[in-house]
């Protein structure tokens, strides 16, 4: 597995900050496709907000193994669940590779990038790293395009490599995700309590009838 260089931003860390919730720690370190994980919560759509030639962000170029002025192809999307933005994603690849090894990235349109990353056995992935995203970070401004954000967010990123060509994916998670998970967790607890109550009630009835041992 690739090693993710942290020298491009000392705030990126392999282990999520201890102060984060269990749900945040879980989603920041989950392997596999984030899109697939989101599909367990509802219908997922991809809203492409920007595709353009750009330069890497200040905390990206070292981790990608390029120079600060290296042109990159940038793709920014909002991953929505049932029409609500849960994640904003910022992906970059050196421009030369966007017309070569990673040229399929330019033809995705509204299909998720996961279709490229997890269907090719030649693609290897670095470890996931995460950090808090404050208003001073460009990704925070990307998030404000999708939601009213006045607080720090959490994001994760990793580098995918295919035949020596790197592609970095950064995923910034919005409050709607944590709200959905909290509701789902509460619903699960209610169902478990209801099942436990039904079991006790059924047992009590058997006792009254003299059926229980």
Whether 10 shows a pLDDT value over 90: the answer reads no
Is the Cβ–Cβ distance between 129 and 156 less than 8 Å?
A: yes
Write down the pTM of the prediction: 0.83
The pLDDT score that the predictor gives to residue 47 is 97
pLDDT of 104-137, one tens digit each?
999 999 999 999 999 899 999 999 999 999 998 9
The pLDDT score that the predictor gives to residue 211 is 65
Q: Which residue has the higher pLDDT, 203 or 31?
A: 31
Angle at 39 between CA 135 and CA 193, to 5 degrees: 95
Domain covering 22-174: architecture = 3-Layer(aba) Sandwich (3.40)
The average confidence (pLDDT) of the chain is 87
Q: Which residue has the higher pLDDT, 44 or 4?
A: 44
pLDDT of 151-173, one tens digit each?
889 999 999 999 999 999 999 99
12: CB partners within 8 A, 6+ apart: 4, 6, 59, 63, 129, 130, 131, 157
Q: What is the mean pLDDT of residues 58-68?
A: 92
């Amino acid at each position: 597995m690739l090693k993710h260089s942290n020298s491009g931003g000392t705030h990126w860390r392999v282990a999520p900050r201890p102060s984060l919730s269990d749900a945040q720690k879980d989603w920041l370190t989950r392997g596999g496709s984030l899109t697939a994980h989101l599909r367990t919560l509802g219908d997922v759509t991809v809203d492409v907000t920007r595709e353009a030639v750009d330069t890497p962000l200040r905390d990206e170029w070292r981790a990608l193994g390029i120079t600060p002025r290296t042109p990159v192809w940038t793709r920014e999307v909002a991953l929505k669940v049932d029409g609500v933005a849960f994640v904003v994603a910022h992906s970059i690849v050196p421009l030369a590779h966007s017309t070569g090894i990673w040229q399929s990235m330019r033809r995705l349109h509204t299909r998720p990038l996961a279709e490229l990353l997890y269907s090719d056995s030649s693609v290897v992935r670095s470890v996931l790293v995460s950090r808090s995203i404050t208003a001073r970070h460009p990704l925070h401004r990307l998030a404000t395009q999708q939601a009213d954000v006045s607080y720090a967010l959490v994001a994760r990123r990793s580098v995918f490599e295919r035949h020596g060509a790197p592609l970095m994916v950064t995923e910034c998670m919005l409050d709607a995700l944590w709200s959905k998970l909290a509701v789902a967790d509460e619903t699960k607890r209610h169902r478990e309590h209801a099942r436990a109550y039904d079991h006790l009630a059924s047992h009590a009835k058997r006792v009254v009838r003299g059926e229980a041992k």
